[in-house]
Every structure is written in structure tokens, then in C-alpha cells.
Amino acid sequence: MSLDFKNQTIIEFTDAAASKAPVPGGGGVSALAGSLAASLAGMVTELTIGKKKFLEYTDELTAIQKEAADLRADLLQCIARDAEAFEPLARAYSLPKETEGYTELMEQCLKTAAEPPFMILKDCVRIIEMDERLQEIGSKLAVSDAACSVMLAHGAMYGAFMNIIVNTRLMKDREYADAYTQKARDLLDTYGPRALAVYENITRRLTNG
């Protein structure tokens, strides 16, 4: 199976996601949603930079624009990273449990498989932080896109978390697994409400004139 998801059409990707194929699954789709969130954050900067009312924020908006582009690219890459990390785990699942070194192999595969969704989660956290700022310095004509961005990042973050715990729950090293899960949970508990607050703030901004 080709893992070159970046060069698939939207139809090809969604067909693959809807099929029996193990990838792209929840992790890859979360990465795509996060990339779209970064795209919309970038769009807000594009539609704000150069407007008289926001000239004092030009440098900050330009920095956000660049970072949004970097996050968009990284999250697209995470689609393939997630698939590549799942492949050895899938092979390990197919081995008899009596295979020599099975436990150690499975443990390493589970740890590897948990890494890409953690990257996705951290990228989405940064997008939420950018949208928090864009709600304040983004053009009113574009701030609705920041609201869409933050909710895509919110959903992608929760999707990534699910793909972390589906792996950590099976790890034998419970100290490592619990610490890894808690790091992700802490980010989720902090940034989930912050993303919702951005959405509500923008809703009020657009409905109250």
C-alpha cells in the first residue's frame, strides 16, 4: 500500500479512510484536520496583513503566517508518519504470542505508534494558541475562519489523544504509559476549553456588531 497520502486527491483519501484498509485511520484523519486548521489560520493572516487597521500587527501576523505554513506541512507529513508507525505494530499483532521476544517487540511498536498522534496533538495546541491571538488581531472579515480553524484543531486534538491511549493502554511498562498518557491529557484538559473559548468569543464578536 502506498503511504504517499499527500499526493492523493481528496476523493482518493476519503475513499481510503472509508475502506477496510488500516490506514489512513483516526490518526491520519486527525492530522489532515489539523493541517486544514493551520491552513485557515494562515488564511486569516493573508486577509489581514496590509489592512490599515492592523498595520501595527504586521510583524506578528507575518510570523503567525509562517508558522501556520510550517504546521500545515508538518501535519500533512504526520499522515504518513502515523501510517508508517502503525505498520510494524500490525505485523507484531499477527505474530504468535509465543514468538521469541514478542513482548519486547510489541512494547516498542506500541511506543512508536503513540508518537505521531502526540506530535499531532502538540501541533494542534500551537494552532489553538495562534487562533487565540488571531481572534484579537485578525480582520473581522476573516475572523470566522479563525473560529473554524480552532474547532478543527480542537477536534483533531481529541482524535489524536484517542490514538495515543489506544496504544498506551496495552503497554506493559505502566509507569511509561501512564506518564505519556498524562502528558497528553494535561494538554487536552488545558487547550480543549481554550479552543471553545476562542470559538465563543468570535461568535460574540460577530453577533454583537
Please report, for the chain, the start and end positions of each structural domain, with discontinuous segments joined by +: 23-207
Q: How far apart are CA 6 and CA 196, in angstroms?
A: 29
Give the Cα separation of 132 and 124 in Å (integer): 12
**Answer CATH for 23-207 from 1.20.120.680, 3.30.43.10, 2.102.10.10, 3.40.50.720:** 1.20.120.680
Q: Is a pLDDT exceeding 90 seen at residue 184?
A: yes
pLDDT digits (tens, 9 = 90+) for 8-39: 899 999 999 999 988 898 999 999 999 999 99
| Tens-place pLDDT, residues 47-92 | 999 999 999 999 999 999 999 999 999 999 999 999 999 888 888 8
Nearest-CA neighbor of 195 among 135, 116, 120? 135
pTM of the model as a whole:
0.93
Q: Following DSSP, what letter does each residue of 22-36 receive, concatenated?
A: SSS-HHHHHHHHHHH
